[in-house]
Structure 1
């Protein structure tokens, strides 16, 4: 495909020799160096997040000592579902996974707090009085090499992540965006998400509020690695998908993909 000399011709298979292609190629180069952001009085969280609710999400990344991974999983399976099932806590465990491909010996947990920051604070205060949880946290600390978390909001145009039957594998694609480009990213993906809904693979889309900033996470579900490959290839058959990729790539500073396997007690199977 495409024997053009420009980078966009080689990457996207665009045909050289047309004014349209030349304009797009020029625009692509300019977008690498020039970021024009319209002055706004609204935070991007107000423009991109769902308005009908006040959900706040927390994603946790735990890097486990390799020899402790089985014990860590068993500990999580004993404690986390009880918190999820207890209406005393205004939070829900959305999913809990081990990374299969990507950073090894890693666990990922995704929580939802219905009620935003007040709900998060309430849960934290109540868990400090929960003897079982405090024992779990102390025991967990002996098994970890490192841990980090982020607080997230969900994009208004994505599905809300809900429990689903399995078996599935999950892909967490994480994008570190250039500062000032979150609204532009959201505008493109608000149109692009329709190309990725046909097989119900779109689970959730989030952007960070606390932790690593200008970070986006897209969560996808597939039956297996081959269905992931087939589904992703099929997206290129939709008119407009190539443009979304073409114009969002320059917004990214760094990206990472994890293939994850649900733990036994994960609501996302």
Structure 2
């Protein structure tokens, strides 16, 4: 009787131990793919964006007919600076580029509206009364294959983009995140940006509000492609950079890199 009871107890203990091991393995395995983010009642934009101002950004992607690229650049260089320097319009041209590596025959424009959505609406209403702008838009339409834009807010932990001397090349790294992971991305990059400001390469960081959602854009400046390579490699020598990469990569659904050359009249040279 005693031996049978001992044997049953031992068998039960082994079964319980095996079950616990399986549960532990299952839990560990699931943890590789599931990262829990606590539910919040705050809007993501309120948690991630700068609080001291109400800047709104618009990024435009114009895919130009290859045979029209020179004419398109000339048209932009003639018209866009006049809007940028006119105080009548509550908008600023931050930078304007042609894509060098990445999607070819493409122009990228980044605008800032100080005052948020009301400033955007005011600027567009006033531009609809601007004969030069209407002519520009009409001529531009003849040169494009397609175009799209996004409205963006800037991350609170990035510096505001300001004009800088050149010559520089710019890299626009665009990340399509998994829905629901924007806060997690912001938490990691609030620390990661410290590793990437050593050579003043960090220009601006933005996340989308209208257009493609859960989209992040990081804008970097380098002297050339070789300095880009050296700067990016140097980040791996900082303790903690590898951890940021390890935890942020699973948040990404798709990513894209553009190397861009500033147009002649771009404030970011």
Normalised by the size of structure 2, how large is the TM-score?
A: 0.89
Judging changes above 3 Å, is the alpha-carbon distance between structure 1 residues 208 and 170 closer, same or farther for their aligned structure 2 residues? same
Deviation at 1:28, TM superposition (A): 9.4
What SS does the corresponding residue of 1:16 show, helix, strand or coil? helix
Q: CA RMSD in A?
A: 5.9
Q: Distance in 2 between matches of 1:243 and 1:117?
A: 37
Judging changes above 3 Å, is the alpha-carbon distance between structure 1 residues 77 and 33 closer, same or farther for their aligned structure 2 residues? same
Q: Distance in 1 between matches of 2:244 and 2:25?
A: 14
Judging changes above 3 Å, is the alpha-carbon distance between structure 1 residues 237 and 82 closer, same or farther for their aligned structure 2 residues? same
Deviation at 1:36, TM superposition (A): 2.0
Deviation at 1:33, TM superposition (A): 3.5
Corresponding residue pairs, total:
257
Deviation at 1:22, TM superposition (A): 16
Judging changes above 3 Å, is the alpha-carbon distance between structure 1 residues 225 and 31 closer, same or farther for their aligned structure 2 residues? farther
Judging changes above 3 Å, is the alpha-carbon distance between structure 1 residues 141 and 40 closer, same or farther for their aligned structure 2 residues? same
Q: Distance in 2 between matches of 1:136 and 1:228?
A: 35
Decide which moves more: 36-45 or 163-172: 36-45
Q: Distance in 1 between matches of 2:16 and 2:169?
A: 39
Judging changes above 3 Å, is the alpha-carbon distance between structure 1 residues 73 and 216 closer, same or farther for their aligned structure 2 residues? same
Q: Distance in 1 between matches of 2:182 and 2:93?
A: 27
Judging changes above 3 Å, is the alpha-carbon distance between structure 1 residues 135 and 188 closer, same or farther for their aligned structure 2 residues? same
Judging changes above 3 Å, is the alpha-carbon distance between structure 1 residues 129 and 243 closer, same or farther for their aligned structure 2 residues? same
What SS does the corresponding residue of 1:17 show, helix, strand or coil? helix
Higher-Rg structure is 2
Judging changes above 3 Å, is the alpha-carbon distance between structure 1 residues 27 and 79 closer, same or farther for their aligned structure 2 residues? farther
Q: Distance in 1 between matches of 2:253 and 2:154?
A: 21
Gaps of 5+ in 2: 7-14
Gaps of 5+ in 1: 1-9
Indicate the residue corresponding to 1:183 in structure 2: 183
Normalised by the size of structure 1, how large is the TM-score?
A: 0.89
Judging changes above 3 Å, is the alpha-carbon distance between structure 1 residues 35 and 176 closer, same or farther for their aligned structure 2 residues? same
Counting only pairs closer than 5 Å after superposition, residues 104-183 of structure 1 correspond to structure 2 as: 104-183=104-183
Judging changes above 3 Å, is the alpha-carbon distance between structure 1 residues 129 and 217 closer, same or farther for their aligned structure 2 residues? same
Judging changes above 3 Å, is the alpha-carbon distance between structure 1 residues 224 and 140 closer, same or farther for their aligned structure 2 residues? same
